[in-house]
Amino acid sequence: MELTAQMIADQLHGQVVGDPHVRVTNVARIEFGKKGAACFLANMKYEKYLYKTKASVVLVNRDFSPKEKVKTTLIKVDDAYTAVALLIGMFSTAKRKKGWEFPHCVSRKATIGRRVYIGAHSYIGKRAVVGNGAQIYPQVYIGEHVKIGAGTTLYPGVKVYDHCVIGEHCIIHANAVIGSDGFGFAPTQDGTYMKIPQTGNVVIEDQVEIGANTVIDRATMGSTIIRKGVKLDNLIQIAHNVEVGAHTVMAAQSGIAGSTQLGERCMVGGQAGFAGHLTIAHGTKVGAQAAVIGSVKEEGTALLGMPAIDHKTYMRAYALFRKSGKKKP
């Protein structure tokens, strides 16, 4: 696919500074940009590459002013980082798959929408509903009474247990498990543990993306809920009866214990953890490897450390900690 700078600017509501007719055929990182490539500059740490890049087009923020002469054509946009995501989509060659591959096992009592792709060795159970345009890759398991929304993609090896609900235009990557039993066991007098039946389900709303090998447990009663627009990285554990608020993002290897409610627009760093039965305010930011053991009531709070505390308090304490380890002259 070939696009001119002006065509790109029109799509991204940007302004061309330079040759509007220059053509590009791919997207590349600015430090490796070559003729015919479109790059972007969102982090000023990489500004030095702008002045020597051979890329044909570079996306920059609208308020950017170069410090030196720029040889390439610039396209000024409101947010270069968001714009490059749209640009990559314009160049994407990925095509939605079509048809049903064999062998597969689809119940006669399942309802399958139009233009659905079903990969080889997939299983779709009784009274499951798969919406129009869904992509069911090979070796996917969809249990009984499951609902899959229109345009949703389940990559190879995804497992969706009975009665779970997945919304429209979701992406679930390879080997994720939706609806496995929550970790519920009651201690008995003889020192053993009795399993507590997990009778609920998982509800995933629209436009959610879930990374590979992530596990979301079904509720003991009711639903474990992942709200609209949530983005979960690989290798994340979401326990039973958790609710993750809309447009929250979580990095790899983080986990939430049972019955905790995470607010909207939260940001969670890698390997961070939440104790059970907490309420976390909207917009909370949690640093990597932080351990949140208490509820957060104030919106926009930033936490660091183990156990997690306010990030400013943590940085002051860390400065004292580092200083205490230095030998006096």
Straight-line distance from the first to the last Cα atom of the chain, in angstroms, rounded to the nearest whole number: 66
Which homologous superfamily does the CATH classification assign to the domain defined by 3-91?
Answer: MurE/MurF, N-terminal domain (3.40.1390.10)
CA distance 195 to 203: 23
The closest alpha carbon to 248, from 276, 275, 280, belongs to: 280
Contact (CB, 8 A) for 223 and 246: no
Residue type, 76: K
Q: How sure is the predictor about 329, in pLDDT bands with cuts at 50, 70 and 90?
A: low
| pLDDT for 88 beyond 80 | yes
Q: Does domain 105-313 have CATH number 3.40.50.300?
A: no
Task: List residues bridging with 285 in a β-sheet.
Answer: 267, 302
Contact (CB, 8 A) for 23 and 56: yes
* The pLDDT value given to residue 94: 57
CA distance 287 to 309: 10
Provide CB contacts within 8 A for 134, sequence distance 6+.
Answer: 113, 116, 117, 148, 149, 150, 151, 152, 153, 154
Tens of pLDDT, residues 102-142: 999 999 999 999 999 999 999 999 999 999 999 999 999 99
Q: Tokens representing 177?
A: 């498990």
* The pLDDT value given to residue 324: 80
* The pLDDT value given to residue 281: 98
* The pLDDT value given to residue 93: 57
| SS percent in the chain: helix, strand, coil, step 5 | 15, 30, 55
Contact (CB, 8 A) for 111 and 70: no
More reliable by pLDDT, 320 or 257:
257
Provide CB contacts within 8 A for 240, sequence distance 6+.
Answer: 181, 182, 183, 184, 198, 200, 217, 218, 219, 220, 224, 258, 259
Q: How sure is the predictor about 285, in pLDDT bands with cuts at 50, 70 and 90?
A: very high
Tens of pLDDT, residues 22-77: 999 999 999 999 999 999 999 999 999 999 999 999 999 999 999 999 999 999 99
Q: Stretch 165-172: mean pLDDT, rounded?
A: 97
CA distance 200 to 311: 37
Residues assigned a catalytic role: 240
| pLDDT for 323 beyond 90 | no
Q: Please state, rounded to an integer, the average pLDDT across all residues of the chain.
A: 95
* The pLDDT value given to residue 22: 97
- The ranges assigned to domains in the chain are 3-91, 105-313
